[in-house]
A and B are shown apart, each in its own frame.
Chain A
Amino acid sequence: MEHTENPKPSSSRLSSVLTDVHFWVPVAVLISGLLLLSFMR
């Protein structure tokens, strides 16, 4: 039976997130949204 547990250590997982372009697109949009909100005030 194949195991289904995650074999990656957490540091490696974090670096996978931080080097993923899919992650930075929503982050950039979120920062822009917050800037827009502060401009609205």
Chain B
Amino acid sequence: MSSEAQTLSASSTQDISRAKKLQLLGILSGFAAGAWLGAAEAPTKLVSIGISPMAISLIMVIGVFLARWSLPALILGTSSVRADVRRAPHLIIWALLAGCLWAVANTLTIFAIRDIGLSIAFPLWNSNSLLGIFWGFLFFNELRQAGWRRWTGVLGGALVMCAGATLLAIASSTQGSAGHSLRGVWAALGAGVLWGTMYIPYRKAYLTGMNPLSFVTFFTFGELGMMSALAIGYTGWAPLWRELAVARGVVFWLMLGGFIWVIGDLFQQYAAKYVGISRGIPLSNSNQLWGLLWGIFVFGELHGRSSSTFAQVIGGSLLMMLGVGAVAFSSAAGEEQTRWKEAAQREGRRYGVAADYVAARMDGRQAAGESAPSRTIWDWLLVAAATAIFMVFASMARVPQLSLNWLPAALLAIALLVLLFICTLALYRTTRFH
């Protein structure tokens, strides 16, 4: 009897330690996501020719599409994607839906920036983290029985981050309102609502056991399909083709931006999986801070601006860091995690996904009887084809005549690579990328 009690207690201690490890992994993924999503803006700053924002978005999404297939093929192999889809095929619909939401939101931001400027638009669409917290609470039992301290940390942290984002956006903005202010406000709020709601399919997928690497491969069809439809609808076939032909010298830089963005997004997916959307989204939203670091130190964007602008940047950055810290220190504890598991069991029952598979994947493990992921010749061909496409556009790329500050660029690149290395190693050791 006492040995049974000892075994149960040891197993419970092991469960708690595993849960803590996964929470830390999710927080680390959120930090890495912020850094890489912010760095994705850097290559796009090299593009200064007059092509429409719609064409720029489309080219970036093409880079994103290539990365979203080649990286999962390289990391786990497409056999793992196929196995996930066999177990939970309904998630393809959710992934396509999320991709469509992303593309429409991204297009709305173009109108918002044009009509009201970045300084007003950014804080409005950054409210997506608050909506994410709401959906996480309402649909997926996040923050249930979390206690007032965690509520304050998450909600307060997200609000403080919104305030910091507002200050940073005002400081970095160079364009004013061009009229149509009400239309721009609607566009920015619309983008925030679409992005905030996009996290419902994310959480749905991860509560049902799908691997983030599998989810993004289908997400990108929705993303590319909707973005292509919008670009053709707004610009027309022939003008769009002409714009793409004119832009061939900068296609590489835009696709590179898309590629870097995917690395950040993959970390964001793991953050959404292991700390939930209520914590994962605010942590990833620290990308604005990283984008500004690249802008100020590498591209000299605020050179010659007034001291009040620098005060706004420092104040905004401190608020962002304070908010990130508050969210990071409010990870889900025992009772809240039990509620997450209840939500996962509910999803499993609804969609007929085996309980052992859902439980194992929630725990960042392979299910019993699941074969180890392996790469085939097709995966290597996929990676080679994506690399070849990037190399073709790299050979056409024009090196822009810009004065860059190389030392800060090197330091930021080293910081990115260190985060990539640490987070990838942690994901591999703890979950084998599940």
Contact = CB atoms under 8 A, between A and B. Distances in A.
Interface of A: 1-8, 10, 12-14, 16-17, 20, 22-23, 25-27, 29-30, 32-34, 36-37, 40-41
A1 B108 contact: no
9 contacts: A3-B369, A4-B368, A12-B352, A16-B350, A26-B101, A26-B198, A26-B201, A33-B108, A34-B104
Interface stretch (B87-95, B382-390, B392-400, B410-418): B87-95
- B interface, by DSSP: helix, strand, loop or mixed? helix
A10 B82 CA distance: 16
Contact of B369 (A2, A8, A13, A30): A2
Contacts of B183: 40
Contacts of B98: 26
Nearest to A29: B197
A3 B354 contact: yes
Given A4-B357, A5-B354, A37-B107, A27 B97 contact: yes
A4 B111 contact: no
Interface centre among B86, B90, B193 (most CB of A within 10 A): B90
Interface of B: 86-90, 93-94, 97-98, 100-101, 104-105, 107-108, 111, 135, 139, 183, 186-187, 190, 193-194, 197-198, 200-201, 204, 230, 234, 350-354, 356-357, 367-370
Contacts of A14: 90
Given A6-B88, A22-B139, A33 B370 contact: no
Nearest to A12: B352
B288 to A, nearest CB: 22
Nearest to A20: B350
Given A1-B369, A27-B97, A32 B190 contact: yes
A33 B354 contact: no
9 nearest CB pairs, A to B: A8-B352, A33-B104, A4-B357, A29-B197, A4-B354, A36-B190, A2-B356, A4-B367, A13-B90
Contacts of A12: 352
A4 B100 contact: no
Interface centre among A12, A17, A36, A41 (most CB of B within 10 A): A36
A30 B191 CA distance: 10
Nearest to A14: B90
Contact of B104 (A3, A27, A37): A37
Contacts of B186: 36
Contacts of B97: 23, 26-27, 30
Nearest to B186: A36
Contact of B90 (A5, A16, A27, A40): A16
Nearest to B357: A4
Contact of A4 (B204, B230, B370): B370
Contacts of B94: 17, 23
Contacts of B88: 6
B351 A8 contact: yes
